[in-house]
Structure 1
Amino acid sequence: MDLLEQSLLDAPIIEKGDYEYFVHPISDGVPMLKPELLREIVIRIIRKAELENVDKIVTPAAMGIHISTALSLMTDIPLVVIRKRKYGLEGEVPLFQETGYSESEMFINDVEPGDRVLVIDDVLSTGGTMKAILDALTNDIGADVVDVVAVIKKAGETELEDTDYTVRTLINVTVEDGEVVIVDAHGDG
């Protein structure tokens, strides 16, 4: 069993209303993220993702930043962070994100028409954030989304089901009776 699998099986579960939520260093920043787990995840992304001719790694703040930073350092591909705060810089593109538990506006800077991008995120759950990001990158900016990778997918349908977007994942899980259950240890794609 690899470190990612074991870390998910060991993840504490908290209840948010009727929702059972696992707490994990990749998705929440707690418990502590060990370098060997981050290294394993980045190596798995490098093996799984289409990286050839990618101009930029794009990730939403905040929990995609540590994964994407490590990936950028290992691949020498520049990193763009989609922020939850408006800076008003030239070319800034707003997008509205809605997830199963929140909604907010995010802002993309430094992605130009024709840029070939790799989108990285920590968790794919409802797909609301990812769909908003991919729509903004492709439709509003005109970037070429080369590949999309989420480290963890929570099992179930997402808002991406009836779209042309494909998200590769490293591991697919669900939470049942207060425990994380590995649905697919190798993820999608």
Structure 2
Amino acid sequence: MQRLHAKIRDIPDFPKPGIIFKDVTPLVKDPAALRLSVHQLLHPFLGREITAIAGMEARGFIFGSLVAWELGLPFVPLRKPGKLPYDVQSVSYDLEYGSAMLEIHIDSLDSGDRVLLIDDLLATGGTAKASCELIEKLGAKVEAIAFVIELDALGGRDKLHGYEVHSLLHY
């Protein structure tokens, strides 16, 4: 994991003063590090009965679509409002500095689907929890949630009680 840690760049005071943003751009720029991160994200779930991979906009699309490709499974995008062209289900949730909403096409998942949810970062857990609710609104089951980075001090894992959570890097 040291190889992956070395590819995460700290950006101070972004998006606001006092925040140290964990930038995955250097990781995705390096093909070997990106491949390693994708394999480490999917490894705990090999052999499981996962039927779809979902990822949250935007960096969850990067890692989630690559995991889906590796596993030969469909990728389901969870998007910001107004970005999906078909009928959608939506969920609103609170952020530490406001509120947000995610949407999913109503025909993206079926009641028998078992979903691996993927994103780049687990901070306070609000986006991940809302994503789980959105997947479950369609009748699918969240099999597990995988992150590249987890910011332990922010307690996001606590909001995901009852879900299996896998994170590659901890800060």
TMscore range, shorter length: 0.7 to 0.9
Matched, 1:147 2:162: no
Match of 2:29 in 1: 33
2-structure distance, mates of 1:102, 1:129:
12
Q: 1:154-189 deviations in whole A, cap 9, x for unaligned?
A: 11212734732232111111xxxxxxxxxxxxxxxx
State TM-score, norm by structure 1: 0.77
2-structure distance, mates of 1:48, 1:2:
19
Residue 89 of structure 1 and its aligned partner are, at CA, apart by 2.2
Match of 1:134 in 2: 132
Which of the numbers 34, 55, 59 marks the counterpart of 1:59? 55
Which of the numbers 10, 13, 26 marks the counterpart of 2:11? 13
State TM-score, norm by structure 2: 0.85
* Structure number having the greater helix percentage: 2
Q: Is the 8 A contact 1:99 1:127 kept in 2?
A: no
Tell me the percent identity: 24
2-structure distance, mates of 1:168, 1:130:
12
Matched, 1:122 2:116: no
Gaps of at least 5 residues in structure 1 are 174-189
Q: Following superposition, which runs of at least 4 residues in structure 1 exceed 4 angstroms of deviation?
A: none
Q: Is the 8 A contact 2:54 2:78 kept in 1?
A: yes
Q: Is the 8 A contact 2:7 2:26 kept in 1?
A: no
2:6 counterpart SS class: helix
RMSD: 2.2
Q: Is the 8 A contact 2:63 2:120 kept in 1?
A: yes
Match of 1:72 in 2: 68
Q: Is the 8 A contact 1:49 1:148 kept in 2?
A: no
Matched, 1:103 2:99: yes
- Equivalent residues, number: 166
Gaps of at least 5 residues in structure 2 are none
